[in-house]
């Protein structure tokens, strides 16, 4: 399931991110890629422990923790400290799959990558190309969102970033270990949560809402891995 999460960052926050990132020194993006991905990766990144990456990453983590749609869709247990990348001058990232378990030293722990996330920091009109291309059983999806918006997709999907032929595509990216490992179960819970929230708005006092909410929590209790 691909889920768009709008408005993680407001316009003034995006502007702050961009100004801060413009002053940072960027390195080779292959430093965080596994051997297969490194062969097809051609972009710039901030190192994981770069002070700018840490400062802005902390802001993103605080925003995610307060975002109801992100929480409902990802059911996060752990979020990998966000990284930042930059594609320009024809840079691209060919088809690859993300490493299943990632290690971070901030603080030292491992994260199973159930979900991959890209937070766009450039607006679509600022660059040509640079679509995130995600393959799933329903075909190929091309994603290019406004700055400040996030896409969440199963980390088990093959994906790529097409060459950026004009301007620069700047983004944050990270992974989520979900309390619900399986995409199919997480999707069921997300669909149920969305339906319950809609019913709460439209028929707020219907007695079945208590029962449905109970079913949601009992499924979460049965499936959650902490």
- Give whichever of 13 and 98 is closer to Ni ion, judged by the CB atom: 98
Residues 6+ apart with CB under 8 A from 16: none
The window from 24-32, 97-105, 136-144, 213-221 that contacts Ni ion (CB under 5 A) reads 97-105
- Give whichever of 4 and 218 is closer to Ni ion, judged by the CB atom: 4
114 binds Ni ion (CB under 5 A): no
- Give whichever of 34 and 146 is closer to Ni ion, judged by the CB atom: 34
Distances (CA, A) of 98 to 60, 69, 102, 109: 21, 24, 9, 18
The window from 40-48, 53-61, 98-106, 203-211 that contacts Ni ion (CB under 5 A) reads 98-106
- Give whichever of 1 and 220 is closer to Ni ion, judged by the CB atom: 1
Name the phi and psi angles at 3, rounded to 5: -125, 125
* Two tokens, residue 140: 């190929």
Of 98, 114, 183, 193, which one interacts with Ni ion (CB under 5 A)? Answer: 98
Q: How many CA atoms lie within 13 A of 199 on its CB side?
A: 15
CA 38 to mean position of chain CA atoms: 20
**In whole angstroms, how close is the CB of 98 to Ni ion at the nearest point?**
4
Q: List residues near Ni ion by CB under 5 A.
A: 98
């Amino acid at each position: 399931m691909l889920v768009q999460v709008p408005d993680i960052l407001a316009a003034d926050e995006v502007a702050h991110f961009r100004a801060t990132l413009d002053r940072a020194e960027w390195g080779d993006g292959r430093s965080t890629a596994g051997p297969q991905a490194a062969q097809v990766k051609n972009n710039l990144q901030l190192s994981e422990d770069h002070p700018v990456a840490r400062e802005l990453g902390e802001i993103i983590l605080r925003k995610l923790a307060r975002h109801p749609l992100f929480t409902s869709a990802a059911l996060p247990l752990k979020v990998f400290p966000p990284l930042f990348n930059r594609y320009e001058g024809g840079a691209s990232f060919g088809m690859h799959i993300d490493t299943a378990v990632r290690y971070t030293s901030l603080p030292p722990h491992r994260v199973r990558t159930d979900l991959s996330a890209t937070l766009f920091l450039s607006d679509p009109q600022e660059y040509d190309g640079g679509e995130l291309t995600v393959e799933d059983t329903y075909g190929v999806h091309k994603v290019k969102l406004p700055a400040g918006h996030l896409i969440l997709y199963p980390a088990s999907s093959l994906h790529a970033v097409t060459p950026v032929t004009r301007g620069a595509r700047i983004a944050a990216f990270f992974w989520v270990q979900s309390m619900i490992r399986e995409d199919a179960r997480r999707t069921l819970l997300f669909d149920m949560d969305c339906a319950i929230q809609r019913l709460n708005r439209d028929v707020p006092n219907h007695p079945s809402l208590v029962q449905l909410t109970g079913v949601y929590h009992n499924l979460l209790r049965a499936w959650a891995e902490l």
